[in-house]
A and B are shown apart, each in its own frame.
Chain A
């Protein structure tokens, strides 16, 4: 079935440093979503990317969707302690990466920020 691989598994940064997590799929995705889960919390939807080469920004967060729609990245500029948590990418779980209804989540990147 559809899988999305996410790296790195862990990332420790000093407050103020940048952070990037990467998501890769073996098949073309119709869209990709990103979620954040705070420690002890539940995943919260951040954004969805649909177009090839799309770049979206949310304050210090920059999301990219690859030209081939097989990879994506989340970049955080100048991390803050409030950025702590696990960041997940998720792609459609149907054959060919097209089924919107079902999402397959990556393993997530756990971000810790040292003040």
Chain B
């Protein structure tokens, strides 16, 4: 049971490039989330999904896209990377967002846009 895995761990992009951050969970969780964490700051929700085929915007969705074709995978796509997207990105999953169910986090992807 690997939990939540993210790839890559580190990436440097040039302005205007695109990339996909991968996230996979093997706990059969319905809910998945993408957060960004800027230095010294808390978490900001980018997108979330309550099940395969269903996604919704969080607090800071601009510049990102997601898809959820399977229960296990929830990739985050950055189009036209900008320096403001330099951050650490965390994927998380949970069985639900109620009833005391916790979120499980991946180890993060550290992205730098130059």
A pairs with B:
no
